[in-house]
Structure formats: structure tokens, C-alpha cells
Amino acid sequence: MNKEDNKDIIIGQNITFSYKDRIILDNQSFSFKKGEHIGIIGESGSGKSTFLKLLAGLLTPSSGTLEVDSESDPAKIMKKISMVMQDAMIMPLTIRENIALGKEIKKERMDEIIKATRLDLWTDSLPEGIDTYLGERADELSGGQAQRIAIARAIAKDADIILLDEPTSSLDKDTIKDVMEALETLTDEKSVIHVTHQTDLLKGYHRILKIGGGRIYE
């Protein structure tokens, strides 16, 4: 981690959040530094994914303040982050459109993204390359291919903060390895908060935090 980047990029103060009578965070404070890679673990249902949604500005804490890269407005927070979830969002569009989601991406940049995520190994074999229409039957994609598209989308956004919500939990061992390689490209020099129950994926992370009983702790 670069010393001059050693500032807090996410600051949560006295955050309380409950979901359907279940307390996820009870007056908790935390801070994550720029460029820091944080692993989040916890029992099933402990609120790991909810915590990520709070950080992404998708949920609002019932009390306390949250600042992400000096922003507290949820709409502005969302612009600062990229997110890769357990189930990749694949739409009835071409591979290119699935990555760009309506944004203009130059050809050179798109080629870089495709290579970085190793999608080229697959798309080069398709007659229409990345302009192949995934159609309504996007479920036919393999988990690895779908997840690589999701990672490519996150790289295209080029946000400083990457939130990962068990992106490899539904993949087999070989695919996990490939997807993790793609994730390394995405997370290089970025702040990462990675929710997972596969603790071996968190090797080399700066900190591992646990969520449970309304607390977040090391």
C-alpha cells in the first residue's frame, strides 16, 4: 500500500442497521484505508451481504454516518464503487453491451478489459466475438464466463472501491482459479472489501473482519 494513499476511504461512525427485526450492526464504527484489501467473514445470515449493500449506498443505516471517499449521499457513493455479486447479472444483450451497460467504451479500452479478464479465450472462438448476442438464454453461460463478464463490467467502471460479494462461491475449483486471476486485475491498487466464506481466498489481504451479533470486529 502506498504511504501517501494511507487515508481512510470508508468511515462508518456509530452505524446501526436492522433488517426485519434482526440487528445487523448495533452502533458500530469502522474505517478502511485507501488501497486496503479487507476480507469479511461470518456465519450464514450474519449480515455480510447487507453490510456490503450499506457500504454501496444501496441501504441506509437507521442511525450513524457513513462516508465513502468523502461522500455521504448514496447516489454519489454508488458512483465511487464497483460491485461483483455471487450471481453475475447477465442481460439479453451482446457481451460488449453487457460490459458497457449503455456507456461509451473505446475499442482499445474494451480490448484491454477483455484480455485482462481472459474473456478473449472464449470470445475469440465465437463467430461474432464480443458482439455475440447472449439472448434471453443467458443462463446457458458457464458460471465462470458469466462472472468474468461481471468482473469486466467492474473494470470498465474503473471505480476506486471494489465490493465483492462471494463472487466465486458457486464456481468449481478450476473456475475459481481463473476468476480469481481476473479479480486480481480488477482489484490491483484498489480498495477491496471481499465478503466470502472461503477464507483461503483472503490470503494476502491486509485485514480480515468478522460480522456477527450486531458487531464487526477483527
Nearer to another protein, 29 or 91 (CB): 91
The reply to whether 76 sits near another protein by the rule CB under 8 A is no
User: Residue for cell digits 446501526?
Assistant: 16
Strand order in the sheet with 8-19: 22-33, 8-19, 63-68
Compute the least distance from the CB of residue 99 to another protein, in Å: 10
Compute the least distance from the CB of residue 155 to another protein, in Å: 12
Nearest CA-CA partner of 12 in 46, 44, 56, 48: 56
The reply to whether 89 sits near another protein by the rule CB under 8 A is yes
Compute the least distance from the CB of residue 93 to another protein, in Å: 8
Choice from 92, 199, 207, 217 touching another protein (CB under 8 A): 92
Nearer to another protein, 101 or 121 (CB): 101
| C-alpha cell read off for 78 | 454508488
Residues 47, 20 contacting (CB under 8 angstroms):
no
Choice from 9, 41, 56, 114 touching another protein (CB under 8 A): 56
The reply to whether 157 sits near another protein by the rule CB under 8 A is yes
Interacting residues with another protein between 109 and 148 (CB under 8 A) = 135-140
Distance (Å, whole) CA 67 – CA 10: 6
Residue 71 vs residues 11, 49, 66, 111, 167: alpha-carbon distances, Å = 10, 21, 8, 32, 26
| C-alpha cell read off for 170 | 458457486
| C-alpha cell read off for 50 | 447487507
Number of residues interacting with another protein: please give it, by CB under 8 A: 22
Nearer to another protein, 3 or 137 (CB): 137
List residues near another protein by CB under 8 A.
53, 56, 58, 78-79, 81-83, 85, 89, 91-92, 101-102, 135-140, 153, 157
